[in-house]
Amino acid sequence: MHIFLRKRTAEKERADMGGKHDFDLAVIGGGPGGYVAAIRAAQLGARVALAERLHLGGVCTNIGCIPTKVLTHAARLMLQQGRLGEFGLGVGEVSLDCGKLGARRDEVVKKLRAGVETLLKSNKVELVRGTASFEDEHTLSVKGDKESVKLGAEKIIIASGSAPVELPVARFDGKRVIESAAAVRMNELPQSILIVGAGYIGCEFAGIFSAFGVEVTLVELKERILPEMDVDCGREVLKSLKKQGVKVMTSTSLEKLSKPKGALKAVLSSGEELSFPKMLVCVGRRPVSEGMGLERIGVKTGKHGAIVVNEHMQTSLPHVYAVGDVTGGMMLAHVASREGVVAAAHATGTITARMSHRVVPACAFTVPEVATVGMTEERARQEVGEVIVKKFPMRVLGKAHVDGETEGFVKLVARAGTGEVLGVHIAAAEASSMIAEAALAMELEATAEELAETIHAHPTMPEGLHEAAEGVLGLAVNWAG
């Protein structure tokens, strides 16, 4: 349904409500799920309030996606400066000023956080500062620093986010045993660091710290790094990390940790004992649903406190919705935002609004970048059966040579017979941008033939997707596909 039709539907529903509450909708949490939901509901004609206990923008803007990418970009520049001679450039030795980098990180976060507040104001969303909890099914108590206020709303969206998972043997102390939020805020670097967990967060930080001159050891319980992503992508990142000097230990767990003066002593499942000044633990995140009084109103939760929702993002109480990390699903900012849009549309009267997780791109800002959407090769073979898989090497691409970024590949998984694109997995420079085309192709249920027939600009990195599609057809021109 088009936006203007949704708005008309929402305005009718608001009139039907009869003004029984101060607000048509109240939102708990101002992260990428909550603030997007609030703004969209306001655009559709609802009177909206948003309660936020800390900073607008949530984990993503303040301690996650945005500040880590400031560090990632600086790390890449550090790595690239060692190759400037290849391009005929000569400069003096590049050094890292942690204070200036930290100031840039904070300035970027400040600007984006302020931008969220401006958007809320311009859409007439009432912002209430404080911690929200349910008094009853339609009333929130928001406790601020000085006073508490009550918000009555016909419908409520919970977007309370997630928190890092702790290891029983390595509790966070904020100084020596830290989680990602503390890592991104560090303005002084340790000589060495042990990173436990080699998902996308652990691998990103391993690359950052290594580029900045820190001795890094990366430990992963599972048999490979980036275990939730394509296996070939993981291998490409592993090769790069080892080239940077990162010590990677898979199929390994942290068994014991002691804290003698001035050091951490870790005992691994391999029997190896290691000593480090700092340890970063990034083994996952858990939904934040406690303390809101959900049990008081009967909202059902599941594993690890995740709020159970349906395809409309409704909880066990139809007028209460939940979006983002608190639902325990795919903990990605862009997923939270889309779920917020769906919840807002449904809450304001668009009963056809449904959330689909069929096509969700995900990125790891490693070196090289990894981006993925759809089925992995392994899953496709299990669920679909006969598939065609082609992996186009970036070293064949003209633009990759121009930029000096010849590592990596574009991997396309297609259904045999029809050529329907089932998954795309990229490990290469600009992967995070290239994956958008692949996601659109999958959303439109495009085939490899349709991708191959789409003219791509030359010379560009996205030509890699075009070349992989031609490979699926057995008609590769520029490589032995």
Catalytically annotated residues: 458
- In whole angstroms, what is the distance from residue 313 CA to residue 68 CA? 29
Element spanning 423, H or E:
strand 421-427
Question: Is the Cα torsion angle 194, 200, 205, 210 positive or negative in sign?
Answer: positive
Which residues partner with 134 through β-bridges?
140
- In whole angstroms, what is the distance from residue 338 CA to residue 329 CA? 13
Which residue is associated with the tokens 């790390």? 75
| Distances, alpha carbon 391 to alpha carbons 288, 376, 396, 410, in Å | 40, 13, 12, 6
Strands (E), 77-130: 126-129
In degrees, rounded to 5, the angle at the alpha carbon of residue 345 between the alpha carbons of residues 341 and 350 is 150
Q: Among residues 276, 280, 282, 272, which one has the least CA distance to residue 259?
A: 276
| Distances, alpha carbon 152 to alpha carbons 12, 23, 316, in Å | 20, 6, 19
- In whole angstroms, what is the distance from residue 174 CA to residue 434 CA? 37
Token pair for residue 254? Answer: 């942290």
The letter for the amino acid at 135 is: E
Strands (E), 263-325: 264-268, 273-276, 278-281, 285-287, 320-322
Query: Long-range contacts made by residues 300-304, C-beta under 8 angstroms, separation at least 24?
Result: 302/328, 303/328, 304/328
Strands (E), 202-259: 215-219, 247-249, 254-258
51 and 373 Cβ atoms separated by less than 8 Å:
no
Q: With 0-12 CB in 10 A as exposed, 13-18 as middle and 19+ as buried, what is 145?
A: exposed
Which residues partner with 307 through β-bridges?
301
